[in-house]
Amino acid sequence: MGVSGHMSKKQKAADAGIAQRYRVAAPRSFRLAGVDPGDDGGLTKSAGEKGLKRSLKKLRALQEKFYADGRNSLLIVLQAMDAAGKDSLIEHVMSGVNPQGCDVHSFKAPSAEELEHDFLWRAHRNLPARGRIGVFNRSYYEEVLVVRVHPKLLVPQKLPEAAKEPAIWPQRFKDIVAFEDYLARNGTTVIKFHLRISQEEQRKRFLDRLNEPGKNWKFSMGDVEERKLWDDYMAAYEDMIRNTSTAKAPWFVVPGDHKWFARHVVAQALVDAIEAIDPKFPKVPAAAIPELNRARSALEAEAPVMPPNDAIGQDH
Ligand code: ATP
Ligand code: MG
């Protein structure tokens, strides 16, 4: 069935359920190994792509309302191993939304200026304003992932004596949860996705980057070094998800070996999240209606404005 055709009840229900399956609902007992990176939800690629189109269409309509409403913001956090497909996911999922209502920010290793501040400072400066959707391509969560796997990265952070390993990790979890609670209370909904790929899929994608000249630029030697620390990263991810998945700011652990499936799940999760916010077009107060009517009459009564003759076809 086409995107514009009528959707069957079954299809609607299937779309609606697809994302919530991957939401971490019981963080304390969450196990990363329980999510199969190769899961495709029992869908064919073509069904998944059609599902994505349906979700994108809904997302577009919802974003328009969300922007017009202008009371809330939505922060999308994306965390994943290299080559998990974050960039192409952003490209596909955000392709439908109005760029004027959307900001994407990529977090790299912190600059000298950023290192002079607390770890949430640079995140706070890049939060989406009301009415806007912000995407964090990597985020403050790097502070309990790459920094945890390489604790020497703590040294240039010049932290107080008390902020030491191993106590610093639970402290950071606490700070992050408090930060996200604060955001929720102030109108920013945070939704977090971990794209989970298998180590074998990463190997294939790295080889693609090496074999295809058009993809060479995406390859970095550092990525191969990080790959050797796979198990340490998985342990850090698992602990992070267990400690920072909350009802208001949940983690979704999304199977990532099939890119089309990951996109379908993420797009639908965003639809679910904005539907829950339930944005409304602002209503013009009844008192303003006569004024609108006067403006309409005045515009209708005006004679059509013609461009002056000498302005046509001339540069100056
Ligand atoms: P790609 O997948 O295309 O390589 P990328 O997101 O990996 O994109 P890069 O330019 O390779 O982009 O680099 C981002 C790097 O910055 C990552 O290695 C990440 O771990 C690192 N980084 C991000 N935040 C921090 C942080 N707070 N402390 C230290 N390193 C960080
Ligand atoms: Mg990289």
Tokens 């969300």 map to which residue? Answer: 66
Instruction: Supply the mean pLDDT for the chain.
Output: 94
181 C-alpha vs ligand 1 centroid, how far in Å? 26
93, 28, 42, 135: CA torsion to nearest 10: 0
Tell me, in angstroms, the distance from the centre of ligand 1 to residue 109's CA: 6
The dihedral built from the CA positions of residue 166, 167, 169 and 170, taken in this order, carries a sign that is positive
pLDDT band of residue 10 (cuts 50, 70, 90) is confident
Atom of ligand 1 nearest to the CA of 119: 27
Structure confidence at residue 199 (pLDDT)? 98
pLDDT 10s digits, 100-155: 999 999 999 999 999 999 999 999 999 999 999 999 999 999 999 999 999 999 99
Ligand 1, atom 14: closest residue by C-alpha: 108
Query: What is the sign of the dihedral through the CA atoms of 55, 57, 62 and 64?
Result: positive
- Which pTM was predicted? 0.92
For 70-189, where are the alpha helices, taking DSSP H only? 86-93, 112-115, 121-125, 146-149, 168-185
Residue nearest to atom 23 of ligand 1 (CA): 108
For ligand 1, whether the C-beta of 138 sits within 6 Å is yes
Cβ within 8 Å of residue 142, ≥6 positions away: 79, 107
Ligand 1 centroid–CA 135 distance in Å is: 15
Instruction: Judge contact between 193 and 139, C-beta under 8 A.
Output: no
Residue from 247, 232, 260 nearest 192 by CA: 247
Give the pLDDT mean for 181-200: 98
Q: Is 107 in the pocket of ligand 1 (CB under 6 A)?
A: yes
CB of residue 87 inside a 6 A radius of ligand 1: yes
Which H or E run includes 68? helix 45-69
Token code pair at residue 159: 């932290």
Q: Is the dihedral of CA 223, 225, 226, 229 positive or negative?
A: positive
- Over residues 25-71, the pLDDT tens digits come to 999 999 999 999 999 999 999 999 999 999 999 999 999 999 999 99
Query: Strand (E) positions, the chain?
Result: 73-80, 102-106, 133-137, 188-196, 251-255
Please report which confidence band the pLDDT of residue 315 belongs to, taking 50, 70 and 90 as the band edges.
Answer: low
**Closest CA to ligand 1's atom 8:** 82
- CB atoms within 5 A of ion ligand 2 belong to 82
